[in-house]
A and B are shown apart, each in its own frame.
Chain A
Amino acid sequence: MSEPFNDFDKQLDQLFTRLREGKAGQGDITELEQALHSDPALRSRYRARVRMEEELSAHFEQPEEFVLPFEAAEKQLWYQNPTVKLTAIAAAIAFLAITAIFIREAPVVTVATLEKGSSAIWEVPPKQGEGSRIEPGEVSLASGMAFFRFDSGALVTLVGPASLVIETPMSARLLNGEALVDAPESAHGFVIKLPHGETVDLGTRFSVAVEGDASTCEVLEGSVLIRHDVTDQEKQLSDGQVMTLNREGMTPLAYRPSREFAPENKKPLVLRSSREATVVSSNLRDGYVDDRMLLVKMEADSYMQRRALFNINLGDLRGSEIESARLNLNLVPSGLGFAAYLPETITFAVYGITNESREKWDSENPKWEKAPGYIAGDENAINGSEVTLLGKFNTNRGQQTGRCTLETKQLLEFLRSDTTGMSGFLIVRETYGISENSLVHAFASSQHPEASGPSLEVVLAK
């Protein structure tokens, strides 16, 4: 395990605060120096703390706070040597030009529109909502579909779970998942980049799918040029033809394999939640929780905040190496509160319980303050020493049903580091409601009559 945040770190943190506020004295510094003098490990922690402080300032500080050293250079050299002065001014100008690259807000360039009618649950949402113009950048869909109309006219339907990097009006990169491309004449030449190649539209409708190392392209109508970037192989595909492409090269297929059929050696084991609970900040339960749902809600000053907990038994996997893992949750209507009192995008965070002694919470009558992740005196914060963030996903304000999936490196690392045979999860809604009457979100528990409860799909390495 990592070195814990100990008393020295705490005192150091407080000293930095006092220094910032002008409240530190030489006595503080002498005391610190005495501690540092005899202990190289403390000196190393001190330097790491200094770096974090400066990196945080550099990350968050407003541009006007930037110091331009050459302004000082100019002042000092002004009266000394006119040649040097000119050099310094030239440098100052050059410096300003370079820092301006970092400081100046780049003009907004948009290349596509996110069309309305999507039923998307986002892991990485576009900066703008539905109906808005989209800037180049990565989007990641946890589930559902999203329709991107590129300025060239190409319509790309992203089918979740999938990640796409929107690049230009004529190109995008599919990182994983599936996309359907419908390119009118204006978008001939539209390119979808793949892990080991690319497809170039020649007037067509086609689908592309990326799973791990392999990509598959199927032409539904028209023709597509497919290129392999290592071997420089090129092949024109027409109606109904399918090609698969990986690191080694390209191979034609007689038909497109089902996205849902897993090869025998990659069939996932499905593990389901064994204990589930909703905790409420008021600890009131009757009328506020329901066994069939795992409820989540975040409010600034509400006593009705809710967080969901569940455990999944990993006992059967002991001794096996986990190759990949996916957590599935099903969003269901809770019937509590109003979606109108929510902002446009709602973010949920899934945490793994890292303090394994905290996996044994009381499922019969769980208390808010006994739940993992709780911090006394700060109802909205998460105790990072008990839980670790596994991932986040987003929904739209109006969305109250749908599958939410999480397939992150952090989830995999968390499961691999398990030592108890039991994994504990905490779900939190990060987005505050506009009023305390905002909607309570619900995920189906294993008791839900229609939707299935939390499940973990795990593929084991052979």
Chain B
Amino acid sequence: MIKEEEFISLYVRHETELRSFARSLTLQREDASDVVQDACIAMWRKIDTLESPKAFRSWAYSYVRLTALNQRRKKQASRLEFTGEMMEIMADEWEKEGELIGAEREALARCLGELPETQRKLLGLYYTSSKTTAVELSERLQKPVAGIYKSLERTRATLRECILRKIQIAKMS
């Protein structure tokens, strides 16, 4: 049996991963937040079904997955979404990527440290809030909006390539 404090600690540790998982199914960030929030309440109510901390990851995934599928059924037709079939495929494949997720996270932290200062600062400004847009940054930095879009895109491409490279090197060693 897991104690409440232990559950909270496990939840905090896995929150970003669960949020990413939900986002891969719902596409929109706000929807993913709702899913994670509802899933967390459901988990809290069923805390006694979690047998050990080791089982937390797959246990929590099943709640997020179910909540996302339920949310899809309830959503208005106008909302953006994958089909239920795609959500199922995506969830199945995601759950097999446990090791990769950890390696990516570690590599991303190192790659962020290797970015030139200007690119890291721009990323920081953009991701400070989920509401920040390139247009706002363009006004704030007095730079053309197209340049901001390009710089952000290039920086993310650099990060992605850096992550892949580091994972590859780690595998080789």
Contacts and interface: CB of A to CB of B under 8 A. Distances in A.
Contacts of B58: none
A59 B127 CA distance: 8
B117 A347 contact: yes
Nearest to A68: B37
A175 B150 CA distance: 40
Contacts of B37: 67, 69, 72
Contact of A69 (B40, B89, B168): B40
A413 B158 CA distance: 18
Given A57-B127, A61-B128, A91-B44, A384 B153 contact: no
A36 B127 contact: no
Nearest to B20: A54
A65 B124 CA distance: 14
With most chain B CB atoms within 10 A of its CB, the pick from A9, A56, A413 is: A56
Interface string B148-173: 01111111111111111100110000
Nearest to B159: A52
A61 B5 CA distance: 25
Interface residues of B, number: 74
A53 B23 contact: yes
Contacts of A94: 4-5, 8
Interface in A228-259: none
A419 interface: no
Interface in B93-144: 93-94, 97, 101, 104-105, 108-109, 112, 114-119, 123-124, 126-130, 133-134
A5 to B, nearest CB: 4
Nearest to B133: A21
B52 interface: no
A377 B147 contact: yes
A147 to B, nearest CB: 27
Given A20-B133, A51-B105, A69-B37, 8 more contacts: A2-B161, A3-B164, A46-B24, A49-B160, A51-B101, A91-B4, A94-B8, A381-B151
23 contacts: A19-B27, A19-B80, A28-B80, A29-B27, A29-B81, A44-B93, A44-B97, A47-B93, A47-B97, A57-B127, A60-B123, A65-B129, A67-B33, A69-B37, A88-B44, A91-B4, A91-B44, A94-B5, A98-B12, A381-B155, A384-B157, A428-B116, A431-B117
Interface of B: 4-5, 8-9, 11-12, 15-16, 19-20, 23-24, 27-29, 33, 36-38, 40-41, 44-45, 80-83, 86, 89-90, 93-94, 97, 101, 104-105, 108-109, 112, 114-119, 123-124, 126-130, 133-134, 147, 149-165, 168-169
